[in-house]
Amino acid sequence: MRFSRTLPFPAIAFVLLATETSTTTATYSDTSAVHGTVYYYRGTAVNAAGESGYSNQKASSSNSGRIIRLEGSARLLGGIRLR
C-alpha cells in the first residue's frame, strides 16, 4: 500500500509518504505533520497486477503534537479504505 498527503488550500499535488509491503492491511504514522495543520490523505493498494485506484480521502490534523496515524485495509473487490 502507498500513502500520500496534500494540504487542503491551495490544492497541490499529493506527495508520496510511504510504501508498505503488507498484502491486506498497513499502517503509517505521519511524524512530519505540523501541529494545527489540516492534511488530506489517500492510499492505493499495490500488487503484481499493478496499482488500484485511490482510496477515500481522510482529513486529519495534528493536535497537541500527536502523530497522525493511518490504517489502510485492502478490500476483497479491489481498492483500499483509509481509517
Mean predicted confidence (pLDDT) in 54-69: 75
The closest alpha carbon to 60, from 35, 82, 39, belongs to 39
Query: In the structure grid, which three cell numbers stand for residue 44, read together?
Result: 492505493
* Sheet with 80-82, edge to edge strand ranges: 25-30, 68-74, 80-82
Instruction: Grade residue 40 by pLDDT with cuts at 50, 70 and 90.
Output: confident
Lowest mean pLDDT among 2-6, 31-35, 68-72: 68-72
Residue, of 8 and 4, whose pLDDT is higher: 4
The closest alpha carbon to 5, from 82, 66, 65, 63, belongs to 82
Mean predicted confidence (pLDDT) in 66-82: 63
Residue 76 above 50 pLDDT?
no
Residue 70 above 80 pLDDT?
no
